[in-house]
């Protein structure tokens, strides 16, 4: 008897230790705190989120509207990823000062570089405002009326929340497809200066080859400083501004990480779809992802060809290439992961069980409603996605429709070849009913895509007419249709979500990501990507030296790094590590913290075999990738010679 009890608890512990799925709302973290503590967390819920005292949330920011950052000193010093700071580093770069290539290190405060347009947002508070948002709602209201009501009530809540000024910003966000609403109040600082960035050969080490992969050795970090007015409140850039004094800054752990250590990630994941109907996942894994992958393969091949022929073109297109390649590679892992997990069939099974339970309740038939909506929407949505991936990838047509394209980074032969390939794909991939009249007539008039292309690139008017007809057709015709379906799907999802929560009352649900602040927790852990292969959770400088190759752009490290390694004693210098935290796009730059809430790393990626985690989480394969904070310190010191920055940080063993 005793033995079985122990075995039972051991099994339970194992199951729980594996269940690292979830991105939780900080304000509701008390729901998870016992589980976190059972797994090793040594602090309490109030340490993570509190409106009464300084807490970890005060050290975390939404950085530039799509990434996360964290405060690491009482003088406004901020860490985020190199790929999050990339655009700003690029803007300060010129032929004379190529900070992307050589890195940038301010040697004192006066050398820090301002970044117009960049802001960071600190969360002041978040609260459940469901009742206020739905005030005046009456059963039977249609979705349009409800949306109008939600908008009006939200506006009033937002206005009340920011009435004191002082850089306050507010948003009301729907959670669980509108079953719940939360008000988020932020304080936004707009004077954010660049302090340091490693050369790309460190910050982007491994390039697209290593992207989404383990073993990883990317030094993906950059350093900024938040400035405030003399009163510590947000202020427009001014030389008079002073470093912002945060309510809380993170202490940096020098203790290191090892397999099994408790970790958590505090940041802003952008978008996940964990509770959707099998039809949506089926479409993503079996239609959308494969088609978009094929189209992007063609585009990437074209870019690659010209980039390998000329250094100048490589520089012009490296950022665009990275953007196209990033999603391209993620979708491959995602589609594969969804198929491997058998998610479509698993969801169909769940839907059957659900409907059996729902019989006679108000929820009966909701999964069929969803299936029908997807069936009707998908052909239209597919056309829209196809259009976006083909027509909208042609820079000439973008320019003709007035969208800005940097001519400094434009190389016409790439664009011409892209035109021919993408217009052909668009024509072949979609029925004629998805093409405007002007397109069909031109196709006949020119006879071949080559001639059509020559005409478009020779004649601005021809390019304008073509892009206008396509634009109008899609934005005025298809987008509204798809949006209308998406609204109905969202409404049905609201019901389905509520029903799933009623059906599975034993489960604590977390809301899908929507760029609101979340906490994910797990532990340091390697994984086995394939039979016979097993990965360690940490990588070291030795691995960088092993990959080092002056002939391959992505693996050509600075000579200084080779020299340092050659001095000896740096073989085990940690670089990156893996953990089981559930993260998503937007979590880049997020602090990765240990059991005591001290900084051990910065999140920047996930492993390829786990990229289906936006739809389904597999504890065996889903890993987030972080840069070890000790590698950041090493680079600041040894490469940047900016040791003075370390003086303002607080370290713990």
Contact residue for ligand ARG among 585, 589, 597, 640 (CB under 6 A): 585
- Per CB under 6 A, the segment of 139-147, 205-213, 407-415, 431-439 that binds ligand ARG is 205-213
Choose the contact partner of 199 out of ligand ASP, ligand ARG, none; CB within 5 to 8 A by kind: none
User: DSSP string spanning 85-101?
Assistant: HHHHHHHT--SS--HHH
Q: CA-to-CA distance for 512 and 504, rounded, in angstroms?
A: 17
Residue closer to ligand ASP, measured from CB, 212 or 283: 212
Q: Nearest distance from residue 495's CB to ligand ASP, in Å?
A: 30
Residue positions counted in the chain: 653
- H or E stretch including 184? strand 180-189
Residue listed under structure tokens 């840069």: 627
Q: Which residues pair with 628 in a beta bridge?
A: 601
- Of 154, 588, 590, 626, which one is the catalytic site residue? 588
322 binds ligand ARG (CB under 6 A): yes
Residue closer to ligand ASP, measured from CB, 263 or 584: 584
Q: CA-to-CA distance for 229 and 250, rounded, in angstroms?
A: 22
Burial of 507 (0-12, 13-18, 19+ CB in 10 A): exposed
Contact residue for ligand ARG among 282, 512, 605, 614 (CB under 6 A): 605
Choose the contact partner of 586 out of ligand ARG, ligand ASP, none; CB within 5 to 8 A by kind: ligand ASP
Choose the contact partner of 267 out of ligand ASP, ligand ARG, none; CB within 5 to 8 A by kind: none
CA nearest 124: which of 202, 58, 44?
58
CB of 448 closer than 8 Å to CB of 442 = no
CB of 646 closer than 8 Å to CB of 633 = yes
Residue 129 DSSP class: -
By CB under 6 A, name the binding residues for ligand ASP. Answer: 583-588, 604-606
Q: Nearest distance from residue 269's CB to ligand ASP, in Å?
A: 8
User: How many Cα atoms sit within 13 Å of 16 on the Cβ side?
Assistant: 14
Burial of 374 (0-12, 13-18, 19+ CB in 10 A): buried
523 is annotated as an active-site residue: no
30 is annotated as an active-site residue: no
**Which residue's CB comes closest to ligand ASP?**
588
Residue closer to ligand ARG, measured from CB, 66 or 256: 66
Residue closer to ligand ARG, measured from CB, 76 or 610: 610
Contact residue for ligand ARG among 588, 598, 603, 613 (CB under 6 A): 588
Q: CA-to-CA distance for 103 and 201, rounded, in angstroms?
A: 9
Residue closer to ligand ASP, measured from CB, 491 or 625: 625
83 is annotated as an active-site residue: yes
326 binds ligand ARG (CB under 6 A): yes
- Of 20, 191, 210, 220, which one is the catalytic site residue? 220
Q: CA-to-CA distance for 235 and 243, rounded, in angstroms?
A: 11
- CB count within 10 Å of CB 161 equals 21
Choose the contact partner of 591 out of ligand ARG, ligand ASP, none; CB within 5 to 8 A by kind: none
- Of 20, 55, 82, 83, which one is the catalytic site residue? 83
- Per CB under 6 A, the segment of 204-212, 399-407, 502-510, 549-557 that binds ligand ARG is 204-212
- H or E stretch including 225? strand 222-228
Residues that bind ligand ARG (CB under 6 A): 83, 207-208, 211-212, 322, 326, 585, 588, 605
User: Which residues are identified as catalytic?
Assistant: 83, 220, 588
């Amino acid at each position: 008897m005793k033995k079985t009890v122990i075995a039972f608890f051991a099994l339970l512990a194992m199951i729980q230790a594996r269940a690292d799925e979830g991105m939780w709302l900080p304000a509701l973290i008390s729901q998870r705190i016992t589980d976190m503590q059972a797994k090793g967390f040594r602090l309490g819920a109030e340490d993570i989120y509190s409106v009464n005292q300084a807490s970890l949330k005060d050290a975390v920011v939404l950085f530039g509207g799509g990434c996360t950052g964290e405060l690491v000193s009482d003088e406004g010093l901020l860490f985020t990823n190199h790929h999050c700071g990339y655009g700003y580093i690029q803007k300060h770069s010129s032929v004379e000062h190529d900070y992307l290539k050589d890195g940038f290190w301010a040697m004192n405060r006066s050398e820090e570089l301002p970044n117009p347009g960049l802001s960071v947002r600190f969360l002041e508070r978040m609260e459940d405002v469901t009742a206020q948002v739905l005030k005046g709602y009456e059963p039977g209201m249609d979705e349009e009326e409800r949306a109008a009501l939600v908008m009006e009530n939200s506006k009033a809540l937002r206005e009340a929340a920011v009435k004191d000024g002082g850089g306050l910003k507010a948003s009301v966000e729907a959670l669980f497809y509108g079953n719940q609403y939360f008000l988020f109040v932020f304080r936004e600082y707009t004077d954010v200066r660049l302090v340091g960035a490693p050369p790309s050969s460190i910050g982007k080490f491994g390039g697209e080859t290593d992207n989404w992969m383990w073993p990883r050795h990317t030094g993906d970090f950059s350093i900024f400083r938040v400035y405030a007015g003399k009163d510590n409140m947000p202020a427009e850039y001014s030389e008079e501004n002073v470093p912002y004094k945060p309510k809380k800054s993170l202490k940096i752990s020098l203790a290191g990480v090892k397999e099994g250590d408790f970790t958590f990630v505090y940041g802003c994941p952008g978008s996940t779809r964990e509770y959707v109907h099998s039809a949506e996942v089926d479409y993503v894994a079996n239609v959308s992802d494969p088609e978009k992958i094929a189209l992007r393969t063609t585009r990437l091949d074209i870019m690659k060809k010209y980039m390998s022929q000329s250094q100048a073109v490589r520089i012009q297109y490296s950022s665009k290439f990275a953007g196209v390649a990033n999603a391209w590679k993620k979708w491959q892992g995602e589609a594969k992961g969804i198929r491997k997990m058998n998610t479509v069939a698993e969801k169909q099974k769940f839907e059957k069980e659900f409907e059996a339970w729902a019989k006679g309740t108000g929820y009966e038939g909701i999964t069929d409603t969803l299936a029908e909506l997807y069936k009707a929407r998908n052909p239209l949505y597919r056309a829209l996605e196809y259009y976006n991936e083909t027509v909208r990838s042609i820079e000439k047509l973008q320019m003709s429709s007035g969208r800005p394209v940097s001519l400094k980074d434009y190389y016409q032969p790439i664009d011409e070849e892209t035109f021919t390939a993408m217009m052909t794909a668009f024509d072949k991939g979609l029925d004629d009913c998805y093409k405007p009249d002007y397109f069909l007539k031109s196709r006949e008039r020119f006879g071949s895509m080559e001639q059509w292309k020559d005409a478009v690139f020779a004649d601005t008017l021809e390019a304008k007419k073509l892009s206008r007809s396509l634009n109008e057709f899609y934005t005025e015709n298809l987008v509204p249709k798809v949006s209308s379906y998406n609204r109905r799907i969202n409404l049905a999802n609201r019901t389905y979500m509520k029903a799933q929560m009623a059906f599975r009352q034993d489960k604590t649900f977390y809301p899908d990501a929507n760029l609101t602040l979340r906490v994910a927790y797990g532990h340091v852990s390697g994984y086995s990507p394939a039979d016979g292969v097993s990965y360690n959770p940490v990588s070291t400088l030795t691995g960088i030296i092993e990959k080092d190759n002056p002939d391959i752009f992505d693996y050509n490290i600075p000579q200084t790094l080779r020299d340092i390694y050659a001095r000896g004693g740096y073989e085990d210098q940690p670089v990156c590590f893996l953990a089981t935290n559930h993260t998503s796009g937007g979590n880049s730059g997020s602090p990765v913290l240990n059991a005591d809430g001290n900084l051990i790393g910065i999140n920047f990626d996930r492993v390829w075999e786990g990229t289906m985690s936006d739809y389904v989480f597999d504890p065996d394969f889903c890993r987030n990738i972080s840069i070890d904070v000790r590698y950041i310190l090493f680079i600041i010191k040894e490469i940047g010679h900016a040791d003075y920055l370390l003086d303002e940080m607080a370290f713990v063993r």
